[in-house]
Amino acid sequence: MEKLQNVQLNLNIEALLLLNLILAIIMFGVALDLRFRDFKIIFHLPRAPLIGLVAQFLLLPAFTYLLVQLLEPEPGMALGMILVATCPGGNVSNVMTHLARGNTALSVSMTAISSAAAVLLTPLNFAFWGSLDPAHAALLQELDVNPLQIFFSVVLVLGVPLVVGMTVAARFPGFAARARNHIRYLSYFFFLGFIAVAFAMNADYFVEFIGLIFLGVFLHNAMGFILGYGSARLLRIQERDARAISLETGIQNAGLALALVLTYFADQGGMAIIAGWYGIWELIAGLLLAAIWARNGSAKGEGLSHRAAAKDGAGNSREE
C-alpha cells in the first residue's frame, strides 16, 4: 500500500482558486445576514458566545492534540487533524442549528465572530499545537510554512468577504435581504459540487485509505460535538444555546482547511485527505445529530437571542 503522506491529489491551481472563491462567496453570503451590532452580543451577554469560542479555539485544538497522541497517526494525518481543529466554525452549522431547533441567531453570530477571530487564532493555534510533538514540528520545519502566510490566506478567504458583506448589508439592506439566501444556497451547492468532483477525481485514494482515516475523523468530529455541548451544559447554558455551540464546535470550516493544505502543504496527501473527508463526514454526522434533536422537540429555554431582544429597548432583533 502506498504511504498516505506520499499521495498527490488530482487537483490543480485552477481548482484551488475555485475553492477559495467558493469559500469567499459563502462567507459573503453569511455576512449579508449580519450587522456590525451583532458583534456587541459578546459584550452584552457574553457567556454563551465566550463558552463557544473557548470550546472551539482552546478545547478542541487541545483535545485534538491529545487524540493524535493517543492514535499516533503519521505526522501528515496528525497535522491535518490539528489544522481542521484550529479552523473556525463552518457556515453550514447555521442551517443545521435551525434544523436541530437550536439558537440559530447565536450560531450565526458565533460563525461571524469565530471567522473574524480565526484570522489570528487559526495560524497561531496551528503553529503552537503543530509544533508540540517533535515529529510534527520536524515536518513543519521541513515544509517551511510561516504562520504569517496562513494569516494572509485566512484574511483573503474569510476576513475580506466578511467585512465587504457586512458593509453591503449596512448600506444596501434591501439588496441584502433579497440576495442573502440565494447567494448562500447557491454557494453551498457549488461547494458540495466541488467536494463531489474532488472526491470522484481522487476516489481511489479515499477507498484505499478510508480504513486508516475513518476512525480518526469519526472520533475527532464526535469529540467536537461533545466538547461544545458538554462545556455549555456544564456551565448551565440553555439547551437551545448548547445545541448551537455543539454544532458550531463540531462543524468546522473544513473547506478552509483544505484550501490551506492545497496552498501550503500540496505534497502532504495525509493532510488533504483528512481535511476532505472531515468536510464530508461532518455534514453526515451534523445532519444525523440535528435530526435526533429535531425529533426530541423544541429545546426548552428562551436562549440568548431572546434575552438579548428583551434587553434591546428598541426591539430591533432579527427573527431566527
In a domain, 105, yes or no: yes
pTM recorded for the entire structure: 0.79
* Cα 144 to Cα 146: distance, rounded to the nearest angstrom: 6
- pLDDT in the model for residue 214: 87
Average pLDDT over the chain, rounded to an integer: 80
Q: Taking phi first (over 0 means left), then psi (-120 to 50 degrees means alpha), and beta for anything else, what does residue 253 get? A: beta
Which residue did the predictor score with more confidence, 246 or 90?
246
Written as nine digits, the cell of 28 is 459573503
Phi/psi for 252 (5° steps) reads: -90, 160
Window from 106-115, 133-142, 194-203, 237-246 with minimum mean pLDDT: 194-203
263 by Cβ neighbours in 10 Å (0-12 / 13-18 / 19+) ranks as: middle
Among 16, 279, 9, CA closest to 156: 16
Residue 152 lies in a domain: yes
Average pLDDT of span 283-305: 74
Q: Average the pLDDT over 155-183 and give the result.
A: 85
Q: What are the tens digits of pLDDT across the range 39-60?
A: 666 667 778 888 999 999 999 9
Q: How far apart are the first and last CA of the chain?
A: 50
Residue 165 inside a domain? The answer is yes
Q: Domain limits at 284?
A: 4-311
Lowest-confidence pick of 6-15, 140-149, 306-315: 306-315
What pLDDT, on the 0 to 100 scale, is given for residue 305?
A: 45
The pLDDT of residue 8 is: 59
Residue 141's pLDDT is 76
In angstroms, the CA 82 to CA 63 distance is 10
The three state secondary structure string of the chain is CCCHHHCCCCCCHHHHHHHHHHHHHHHHHHHCCCCHHHHHHHHHCCHHHHHHHHHHHHHHHHHHHHHHHHHCCCHHHHHHHHHHHHCCECCHHHHHHHHCCCCHHHHHHHHHHHHHHHHHHHHHHHHHHHHHCHHHHHHHHHHCCCHHHHHHHHHHHHHHHHHHHHHHHHHCHHHHHHHHHHHHHHHHHHHHHHHHHHHHHCHHHHHHHHHHHHHHHHHHHHHHHHHHHHHHHHCCCCHHHHHHHHHHHHCECHHHHHHHHHHHCCCCHHHHHHHHHHHHHHHHHHHHHHHHHHHCCCCCCCHHHHHHHHHCCCCCCCCC
Q: Per DSSP, what are the bridge partners of residue 252?
A: 89
State the CATH number of the domain containing residue 222.
1.20.1530.20
Task: Kindly tell me if the per-residue pLDDT of 315 is higher than 50.
Answer: no
Q: Is residue 316 part of a domain?
A: no
pLDDT higher than 80, residue 297: no
pLDDT in tens, 180-231: 778 877 877 777 777 777 777 766 767 777 777 888 999 999 999 999 999 9
Q: Is residue 318 part of a domain?
A: no
pLDDT at 114 > cutoff 80: yes
Would residue 94 count as lying in a domain? yes
Structure confidence at residue 10 (pLDDT): 58
pLDDT at 250: 94
Mean pLDDT check: name the lowest of 50-59, 96-105, 198-207, 250-259.
198-207
Contact 31, 164 (CB under 8 A): yes
Instruction: Identify whether the C-beta of residue 292 lies closer than 8 Å to the C-beta of residue 76.
Output: no
Is residue 320 one of the residues assigned to a domain? Answer: no
pLDDT of residue 210: 73
Q: Has residue 319 been placed in a domain?
A: no
Question: What is the tally of structural domains in the chain?
Answer: 1
Burial of residue 288 (CB within 10 Å: 0-12, 13-18, 19+) is exposed
Write out the three cell numbers for 135: 515529529
